[in-house]
Amino acid sequence: MEYRCTERPSRLVEPAERSTSPEKTRKEIVSKGSSGMEVILATLENTQDLQSILNILYILNELLTVGGGRRIGVFVSKGGTGILLQLVISASKESPPSEEVMLQLHSVLAKVGPKDRKFGVKARLNGALNVTVNLLKQNLQNYKLLLPCLLVLQVYSSNTVNAVSLGKNGVVELMFKIIGPYSKKNTSLLKVSLDTLGALLKSKTNAQRAVVHVPVLLYIYQDWHRNDTRHRHILIRKGILSCLKNITNIKLGRKAFIDADGMRILYNTSTECLSVRTLDPLINTSSLIMRKCFPKNRLPLPTIKSVFHHQLLHVPAGGPVAQLYNQPLGMDDVVDESDNNEEAEAENDMENEVEDHHAGNDDIETDINKLRPKETHSRPFEELKIYERFFMELSEDFQVFKFDNPKKGVTATPEAPKSHRPIIVPTAQALPPKNPTAAPLQGECPHPAPVSALDLDTINITKDQDGCGDHTHSRPHPGAGLEQELVQGLERVALDGAGPQGGEGGGNKHNRQPPILAGGVAARLGGEGEEMLAEDWAEEEESSEEGVLHVPDTALLLPLHDPDLYVEMVKSTSSVPQFSEVAYPDYFGHVAPTSREHILERVYGVQSPLPPFRTKIFQDIERLIHPNDILDKVVYDLDIQSCPVVDGGESLKFNSQFESGNLRKAVQVRKFEYDLVLNSDINSNHYHQWFYFEVSGMRVGAPYRFNIINCEKSNSQFNYGMQVLMYSVQEAISGRPRWVRTGTDICYYKNHFSRSSIAAGGQKGKSYYTMTFSMTFNHKDDVCYFAYHYPYTYSTLKMHLQKLEALRTPQTYLREDVLCETLGGNSCPLLTITAMPESTSNDQICQFRNRPLVFLSSRVHPGETNASWVMKGTLEFLMGSSPLAHSLREAYIFKIVPMLNPDGVVNGNHRCSLSGEDLNRQWQNPSPELHPTIYHTKSLLQYLAAIQRAPLVFCDYHGHSRKKNVFMYGCSLKETVWETNISATSCELHEDLGYRTLPKILSQMAPAFSMASCSFVVERSKEATARVVVWREIGVQRSYTMESTLCGCDQGKYKGLQIGTRELEEMGAQFCVALLRLKRLTSPLKLRNHAHLLDVESDLTETRCKGSSTPSTYLLEDEEASFMEEVDYSAESGDEPDNDPNTADPHDNHLSDSESNNYRDSLT
């Protein structure tokens, strides 16, 4: 049947088809008191006159145009859509149909359709779908009628079933007959045609039909780009790109796009648009298409498993390690190019920056029984009695204690056995020596060999205060510029090796080991056991004063740091790679900068939203378009350990073979650009985020770009102002030994490296992410280090603990025990800190033993180094001499495990221990063989619960990579139920709200803390974490995870600043002061006076009411909330105390003047 329209007036409906007379209809309408819209629709449905129908349609068109969405909603609710569709069917039966009626009907339907959710279904069931299609086919040249038909067709296509049906009817091919090259005519019609085609192509079936038209679309886009010089038709150009975007959602479409040279076409057109801000929509869509079509590649690695392997004595058959190593070779990293592997990409492609938080409700625990504390203990007390030895303070009577002896009664840490592996202090990449070295042994790699190693037990580092000591010097590298800057009057370090005949520097010079310094400072000598002649040494001592390494004198600024002691700690630290080097930053130490480091503002075109990172992406796309410009030169590779990669000076030198270091491979892709690949956690094939590596051999002023290409998290604070950290040796020897925030053009985005489903938990189509930054170096021959966050090694912890013990006063009770030994052979320290009793009287001893306990832990995730800096602040405050610190020690007994995962920290892991598992997901059923630190820490808590001495507070320190500020996660039955649809009685939800007191105190006194970011919801995915297990199984109401940002703050005193070690240590100290205030507020004598703080029911209700505007922090991996940049932090953090002396409550909860002064003194 043909539907070519004419202007011939006719009757639309035969009289026989109308069973209701006009008179009867009029009476019914009037008697019902119907509204005006009902009158119009009833008249339209029942009238037989063509002109009357047209008049009513004219009226509806005007009403719906002027009335907007609300009037259209009324129209739909009164059944107007069905009446219009029925009229379309009736009008189509006319031969030929009336053009004016069809025009008006489709004009009204185009307005109504988008507001009617069932519009597509109604049209398909009614049969109007085919009427519109046939009308379109017969009137391709009738632009007046074509436009409203296309608008209605676009609405039809929003329904998937309709879109497939329309595709079968040839509508996709029909659209390509309407769109065409650049023309000034009928641009509105072309725009609607492209939008309709784009809606149709969302169906994969239709996209397959359109694959053959990809070259046509590219040609049309080029033509419009070339001729639309004034950019008046941006919407048309974007419509063409939208069609391409939908076609390239399928594999065939991506292949057709590549074959048609689409990458080059869109790259060239986009780069020509970069200078025009109004063309951002075109650039954004083009970058989306190009990124999607960029061929998926494997990482440039032989395997995604860690380059290091630690053999476990016990490997559970179904555990992750067994699955990992049972995988056949070559099958652990397979690129999946199937059509169903594409993640849904929103047009703004913000990498899940804004997620549907309501979806998080699926993870909230809904079983009330699991939200109640366990009433029975899982282990018999006889089994737990062995842990009594860790609680000597609960039975100590001090009868034989001499109170004038500060060391009496303190349990010293057993000295770990010394390792005899070689060590190099400090470290850097090797440089060729001045004189020829011995020839390499047969079968060895013909590269400069490392220096002759010093035995750990013979190495001795001394500081010469007056510069008159007996120094040994290393052979300088010709042309090295750093040596000339090593005589600035700073302290010198001499590395003296005791010869076979013994003596300290007095032995035969032929047998003395040469000093071993960094690559840019002094040359490394090659050859196992190679000796330097006495004449050479004498010549060096006379002529090479510049070969001496200067160590900054930071003793006054860093009382807990000592390079000599640090080296001793390194000697007893065990690592899987058997590290033999020490990094400069860990050796020199870090002095926090005095200036504030601001959060970077987003740079337009680099971190601009919708979508981000286009400049960097275009540079990546250039690799595919101009492959001959890519060097693809491997300059560092841990997978080739027997043959380290070195270069003749044209490339940077990299190194990560030191404690906590992580860099697996470096590939030079351009002269000043490097792709970096991180090593996965040991016994794992994922968890790539933490990095810590050394760079040397740089050129001053050159614009270097570094791309870390195998990050895994879907978003990062690197997109929102966070910078990487850099440590310059040149700056350190000039008196500025510090980590500084640095880097420009920083961004974090999804790349074209495919992430294996094996490493992604079975999910297909996942990609890795690139963290890229640019860097210009200021010093020639510098040695620089880059890190994800401020490094804090296991050896640093041991050094700090020894220094703290040395600072102990007679009034402080400090005991350090070894809780257990880790899988890697490192000890896990357990600290007990409290105040000594004033005497041995019964009252004093009783008060001592009955102090409430506070249990603190930290660093279960190795990559969260900020947790260790917070813990350092806590320990320093607890061991301090201020009145507040003394009061705190008198108030509590502190049990502290400062590093729950020493092995992960030592070996540069991001999240796991040597078992290849996240230890913070093992608390429900830890294995003594695989998770010893968690097993024994939980046993300590179980012992305390068994003797009715459960801690008052448990807090596990963590770091957060996707949120700002410092905040807490806690556990609440009531708040968890409120977030779900559980029906529960008020008695079932009864709980003490004291769990909110400590976070509220912190929000009032700690400028970095945000109460609005806190969450007290219990999630299923977190049921095996420390926070939830200690709350549920041990019965600790105040069980928390305290998260510290890796980036900075967006509220309070530090708003707009990146967080540093000073602020992190301050947070640790403020946590202590908050505990002291908590003690005073919960004291029975003072409870009544501070009821206004403890009564947080109103605050809780208010927070619940604001829940719709404040995003929740549940349902996220790794104890992290989904990333939300725009978070309203005004709910709690703005509650500033009233400091008016005339209105202040004499019993308020704020520190007194003397307390405040003491608190400030303790922090400084």
Q: Do residues 570 and 502 make contact, with C-beta atoms less than 8 angstroms apart?
A: no
Q: Do residues 714 and 352 make contact, with C-beta atoms less than 8 angstroms apart?
A: yes
Please tell me the distance from the alpha carbon of residue 690 to that of residue 864, in angstroms, as a whole number. 8
Please tell me the distance from the alpha carbon of residue 551 to that of residue 784, in angstroms, as a whole number. 16
**Which tokens sit at 933?**
């630190």
Count of all residues that appear for the chain in the document: 1164
Find tokens 């010293």 and name the residue: 412
- CB burial class (10 A; 0-12, 13-18, 19+) of residue 813? buried
**Which tokens sit at 1152?**
């007194």
Q: Do residues 858 and 867 make contact, with C-beta atoms less than 8 angstroms apart?
A: yes
Helix (H) or strand (E) holding 820: strand 812-821
DSSP string, 673-742: EEEEEPPPPTT-S------EEEEESPPBT-EEEEEEEEE-SS--GGGGT--EEEEEHHHHHTT---EEEE
3 state SS of 854: strand
Question: How many C-beta atoms lie closer than 10 Å to residue 657's C-beta?
Answer: 22
Please tell me the distance from the alpha carbon of residue 682 to that of residue 824, in angstroms, as a whole number. 11
**Which tokens sit at 559?**
């009382």
- Catalytic site residues? 1043
With b for 16 or more beta-carbon neighbours within 10 A and e for fewer, the 226-262 pattern comes to: eeeeeeebbebbbbbbbbbbbbbbbebbbbbbbebeb
Peptide bond before residue 328 is cis, with ω within 30 degrees of 0: no
Phi, psi of 529 (to 5 degrees): 75, 15
The amino acid occupying position 530 is E
Question: How many C-beta atoms lie closer than 10 Å to residue 218's C-beta?
Answer: 21
Q: Where are the alpha helices (DSSP H) in 78-115?
A: 80-92, 99-112
**Which tokens sit at 215?**
């070259």
Helix (H) or strand (E) holding 614: helix 614-625
3-state SS, 144-202, equals HHHHHHHHHHHHHHCCHHHHHHHHHCCHHHHHHHHCCCCCCCCHHHHHHHHHHHHHHCC
Q: Do residues 533 and 510 make contact, with C-beta atoms less than 8 angstroms apart?
A: yes
Q: Do residues 937 and 819 make contact, with C-beta atoms less than 8 angstroms apart?
A: yes
List the beta bridge partners of residue 748: 771
Please tell me the distance from the alpha carbon of residue 213 to that of residue 217, in angstroms, as a whole number. 6
Q: End-to-end CA distance of the chain, in Å? A: 90
Phi, psi of 487 (to 5 degrees): -125, 55
